[in-house]
Structure 1
Amino acid sequence: MGTKRFLSRFFTTASIMLLTASTLGAGPASALTTSDIAVKSQAEMILPERDAMHKLLTNVYDSTSYVNAGNTNYSLNGVSASSIKLLIERFESEGEFANSVAARALKTHMTALELYEKQANADKIVKHMNGFLVLLEQQHSKQLLSGTAYQALKDSTDEMVGQWDTTFSSDRAMTHLHNLSIGIGPRVTGTAEERQGVEYIKNEFEKLGYDVSTQEFKLPDLLTGQLQITSNDNQNVRVAIADGSGYTDENGVTGQLYAAGLGTAEDFTADAKGKIALIQRGDFTFWEKVQNATAAGATGVIIYDNVNSSTPILPGLSNKSSIPVVGITKANGEDLLSQMTTGEVEANLVIHADSTRKSQNVIAVKKPKNIENPEIVYVTSHHDSVAGSPGANDNGSGTSTVLEIARAMQNVPVDKEIRFIAFGAEEIGLVGSTYYVSQLSQDEINRSIVNYNLDMVGTNWAPASQLYVNTVDGKKNLVWDTVSAASKKLNIDDGVLNPYQFSRSDHVPFHDAGIDAALFIWMEPGTARMEPYYHTPQDSIENVSPERIQTIGDIITTAVTDLTSTQAKVTEKAS
């Protein structure tokens, strides 16, 4: 039915329900009586009357959305058998069916579905809805209902199937991955794009009906800086700021360079005081070099590499320095030494710290009914990515898989609490997961039994043919036991899963808290090599395999369902 025809019927129907001028806007629609109603044409309505009419119709059809932006929106708000039946009745009243028999056949299906919904029988609901779709297709092909009615009912049916279908779908996961890696793109920690990713994940969890919250936490200071050789026309030298470096004010520190060799205590003389020490990498730790420079009164430290590299060395300090420390390439270090042979070289070193950045964890909780203090199961991933990378496999694949597992399990009755979590700030040191675990009470930790952590679970790189199940200590635990059993149940080849020792992801804080945890990632058998697209612009959706997403999704969904589902336990007992 066209928009013009619909609006004509909309206002004709609505006009019969309008309040008289004496009662317009005076009370809720539920207070109306037939004596309050008068007929008015659309042209006679003033704006408040139209608003009242809209409110009245929304109350009458509270399961549907009335939005018109060129096309009428018949989407349901909270799809169910009852709301679909109401939509069928509405289309029947608007003349969208060729006859009442066609509408009645569809409504009969919905009556049966209402019973299955009360029983929460997912299998029968999905089977019956698929039968409903077949009937809908037949009626549409025979022109027994309009295209508008067909599309609206089909969309609502597809949504309802999605609510009750407990099988994992890589197609749905890939849709999430497209939205994250292409729709948003790189989701670098602390950026607006990371926040967009958080909002997307939060909205998707909320659509599924979960108890959803975001947990905000402060990020470590972001250090930015520059090194300029002021005695050489402010030549810029590319630097990497050392972990644990001291900061400067906006003017930085300015001083002559002091050649300090390898940075031993003997390499410093009284002449080093007030200067910036230029030190070669090697022989002993970065921290010892910085300590010696600080003790000699240097105002800053530049460490140059001892091997050729296109990128500056990143000095890792085991403590916090009181002076600024940066790393540069071997070539740049040798160039500065060469300049010093012809005279004094002066430099300005600036390191600024941004202390305002924050990130968020997104938490969706599914609780069992009538069970106090249940055991807790975690299904997790991280949602951030590195700069310059779309973050498709790392880790849009893990987050998209977690979202689809949450959809598949939304109506599964459970006897344990399940927490689906997307962590922020993994790429800068497991900051989000570490913070989350640190905020758990001792009671929550005691009730926590297992963490399935998904990170880089979709690569299409052919050599990465094994799904590594990585524990921090290399020992098999409850994660391995459940996924191994799930894999056998699904008839997956024995060689696909591989137990291994590996950390570097968000399962580590759970392990450290005494909770069985493991990281899932596709790697090369024997070598444990990861894909070559890792942390590059090539980490795009084109290099993600839906088949591998399906494999990990099937395994984790089956493992978690078998561990937590009351229905699965009843079926197992019966067999």
Structure 2
Amino acid sequence: MKIRRFGAFMSAVLISSTLVGFSPKNIEYNNPGTAAIAEEQLEASIVNLQALLDRMEKDGDIASPAVARTLKTHVTAVGHYENSKSYKKAIKHMESFHVLLNSYESKRMVSENAANLLRDYADALISKWDVIFDSGRVMDYLHQLSVEIGPRVAGTEGEKKAAEYLKSQFQSLGYDTSIQEFAINNRTERTLRILTNNKEIALGAATGSAVTGEKGVTGAIYHAGLGQPGDFSDDAKGKIALVQRGENSFWEKVQNATDAGAIGVVIYDNVDSLSPLRPTLNNNSSIPVVGTTKELGESILAQLSKGEVKANLVIHTHTNQTSQNVIAVKKPKNVVNPEIVYITSHYDSVPYSPGANDDGSGTSTIVELARTLKNFPTDKELRFIAFGAEEIGLVGSNYYVNNLPKEDIDRSLINFQMEMLGAKYEPASYLAVNTVDGKANTAWDYTNAAFDKLGKDKEKLILFRRGSSDHVPFHNAGITAACFNMGTSDGGLEPEYHTYHDTIENVSPERIQFAGDIISKAIFDFLADHNSQGKVLDEAS
């Protein structure tokens, strides 16, 4: 089989199937009483596998209708997973088909010849599915990043844990992986941890607030209503005052709390908002002050109604901070100074946010793309990079690009940046290709073509002028670059953006699959069309 071009996404799949050294056509089904199997029937598919089981039952290579029915039922169930694009589950259940088949063969209920062909069919399907972009796997990576690790603010332990996790994932896929560390600006920590349940509350900075030591201040929460003088009693001394916005000024609330002997103040909003209140005191407080949302303030009140609530409040600046990029590289064999293709994202988040969509979804997507491309025949050097410290000014990507040797810049072809690919927000159903200058480039061309080849609705594709992500340093270095995100028709983002509501519950696997199918198609086709060693594909097949 000679594959010279990628007319459809499945051509990439077929190439990968040949790389593992198997095609079902290598096995003949020999039953002298029946005609030979047509070549098209040997193409690995659930439909053809079901037809083959029917034929084997008819020919007597399967001992009984009950055995044939069990095998067919299992294959039908696997087909449901394939149809729903749950490829990881499809592979798992096809592997269990192997176990079932081995058991029947050992009991002489399936002939050896039939068992061999069925096994090879199953292997071909597994190989085919293994190189298809799978949002189920993306969600697994995302769970680890946004749930198990959580917020990944630049310079924090959470960001470092995420970097180590990503490094281990890329290494498990066979990539040459490294951590690139770099300095970042001092980081001000603002945390209110409810010690009763060990939950951290999202906060807004209050201008004019005092700071604390590294360990902060710890005390019981005292409900002080609106922070009027009459809302405080002697019991407020040594406690953290919780007050609601309204009626008097922020400074008056803080001064009243200070006069009552409170050791800190938390002001919660009186209107619903996804972002924490940021009080302006217009003065300098002698105690730490922060703001939070109406929702979170009321949640603390609900806990107070059940008994004492203790908390720890910290406002402290950390110095000598570092972040890190995670770099995974696959170099082609026997190619000197290969051209470079960059597939990137950022894995840090804003404070208090689990960063599920921004940019856990993009980072999980590049891990999945690394998996699908690990055996792809190309003469290009593939670099998958998860950048740190994007949220504080594209620091990681700027550091990376600015420190590339000139010879690397000269052989750099293109950058595909993944950013916020899974918003469940209903209007965010459009795939945006963002370029710094708003002009179409090679990344746009291949994405546009992928929509056509996959039969997608072209109204769901938009070209947008936007920087604000890690494609910017590549563009500034003269490298073709684009950033992909799911958003609204006018380039808007979901309301959970940069809030503590950016959780995995607000990420849509279907949106990630939609974006992943198109982006992976664009990248596969780009690599195939720019393969300067045309013989590689022929030899591989």
Instruction: Out of 374-383 and 532-541, give the one that drifted further.
Output: 532-541
Residue deviations 1:167-195 (CA, integer Å, cap 9, x gap): 11111111111111111111111111111
Q: In the alignment, which of 172, 179, 186 is matched to residue 221 of structure 1?
A: 186
Change (3 A) 1:218 1:161: farther
Is residue 163–residue 410 contact of structure 1 (8 Å, CA) maintained in 2? no
Change (3 A) 1:359 1:169: same
Report matched runs for 1:203-282 at 5 Å.
203-223=168-188
User: Residue 486 of structure 2 aligns to a residue in which SS?
Assistant: strand
Q: In the alignment, which of 363, 376, 398 is matched to residue 412 of structure 1?
A: 376
What is the aligned partner in structure 2 of residue 548 from structure 1? 511
User: Residue 470 of structure 1 aligns to a residue in which SS?
Assistant: strand
Q: In the alignment, which of 358, 367, 378 is matched to residue 342 of structure 2?
A: 378
Q: Which amino acid aligns with 2:135?
A: S
Q: In the alignment, which of 361, 364, 380 is matched to residue 397 of structure 1?
A: 361
| 1:522 has 2:486 as partner | yes
| 1:454 has 2:418 as partner | yes
Change (3 A) 1:358 1:166: same
| 1:488 has 2:452 as partner | yes
Change (3 A) 1:567 1:405: farther
Per the normalisation by structure 1, the TM-score is 0.53
Q: How many angstroms does 1:573 deviate by?
A: 10
Change (3 A) 1:132 1:453: closer
Q: How far apart, CA to CA, are the structure 2 residues paired with 1:484 and 1:176?
A: 28
Q: How many angstroms does 1:412 deviate by?
A: 0.7
What is the aligned partner in structure 2 of residue 137 from structure 1? 100
Is residue 562–residue 569 contact of structure 1 (8 Å, CA) maintained in 2? no
Q: How far apart, CA to CA, are the structure 2 residues paired with 1:129 and 1:188?
A: 35
Change (3 A) 1:203 1:510: same
Is residue 155–residue 187 contact of structure 2 (8 Å, CA) maintained in 1? no
Residue deviations 1:520-547 (CA, integer Å, cap 9, x gap): 1111113x22111112222111111111
Q: Which amino acid aligns with 1:542?
A: E
| 1:165 has 2:106 as partner | no
Residue deviations 1:73-131 (CA, integer Å, cap 9, x gap): xxxxxxx99xxxxxxxxxxxxxxxxxxxxxxxxxxxxxxxxxxxxxxxxxxxxx99998
What is the aligned partner in structure 2 of residue 477 from structure 1? 441
Q: How far apart, CA to CA, are the structure 1 residues paired with 2:105 and 2:410?
A: 61
| 1:191 has 2:156 as partner | yes
Q: How far apart, CA to CA, are the structure 2 residues paired with 1:211 and 1:204?
A: 11
Q: How many angstroms does 1:396 deviate by?
A: 0.8
Q: Which amino acid aligns with 2:429?
A: S
Change (3 A) 1:482 1:328: closer
What is the aligned partner in structure 2 of residue 532 from structure 1? 495
Is residue 207–residue 279 contact of structure 2 (8 Å, CA) maintained in 1? no
Q: Which amino acid aligns with 1:517?
A: A
Q: In the alignment, which of 525, 532, 541 is matched to residue 562 of structure 1?
A: 525
Q: How many angstroms does 1:355 deviate by?
A: 2.5
Instruction: Out of 441-450 and 130-139, give the one that drifted further.
Output: 130-139
Gaps of 5+ in 2: 1-19, 22-89, 109-118, 192-203, 215-269, 290-314
Q: How many angstroms does 1:371 deviate by?
A: 1.5
Paired residues, number: 345
Change (3 A) 1:144 1:504: farther
Q: How many angstroms does 1:572 deviate by?
A: 9.8
Is residue 163–residue 411 contact of structure 1 (8 Å, CA) maintained in 2? no
Q: In the alignment, which of 427, 431, 452 is matched to residue 467 of structure 1?
A: 431
Is residue 447–residue 519 contact of structure 2 (8 Å, CA) maintained in 1? yes
User: Residue 514 of structure 1 aligns to a residue in which SS?
Assistant: coil
Q: How far apart, CA to CA, are the structure 2 residues paired with 1:138 and 1:551?
A: 35
Larger radius of gyration: 1
Change (3 A) 1:407 1:241: farther
Change (3 A) 1:572 1:210: closer
Change (3 A) 1:143 1:424: same
User: Residue 495 of structure 1 aligns to a residue in which SS?
Assistant: helix
User: Residue 492 of structure 1 aligns to a residue in which SS?
Assistant: coil
Q: How far apart, CA to CA, are the structure 2 residues paired with 1:240 and 1:419?
A: 42
Q: How many angstroms does 1:140 deviate by?
A: 3.8
Q: Which amino acid aligns with 1:412?
A: F
Is residue 163–residue 208 contact of structure 1 (8 Å, CA) maintained in 2? no
Q: How far apart, CA to CA, are the structure 2 residues paired with 1:202 and 1:510?
A: 22
Q: How far apart, CA to CA, are the structure 2 residues paired with 1:176 and 1:207?
A: 13
Higher relative contact order (CA 8 A, sep 6+): 2
Q: Which amino acid aligns with 1:418?
A: L
What is the aligned partner in structure 2 of residue 360 from structure 1? 324
Q: How far apart, CA to CA, are the structure 2 residues paired with 1:448 and 1:162?
A: 31
Is residue 218–residue 359 contact of structure 1 (8 Å, CA) maintained in 2? yes
Q: How many angstroms does 1:475 deviate by?
A: 0.7
Change (3 A) 1:184 1:474: same
Is residue 309–residue 329 contact of structure 1 (8 Å, CA) maintained in 2? no
Gaps of 5+ in 1: 1-79, 82-126, 146-153, 227-237, 251-307, 312-326, 337-344
User: Residue 458 of structure 2 aligns to a residue in which SS?
Assistant: coil
Q: How far apart, CA to CA, are the structure 2 residues paired with 1:510 and 1:484?
A: 21
What is the aligned partner in structure 1 of residue 17 from structure 2? none
Q: How many angstroms does 1:550 deviate by?
A: 1.0
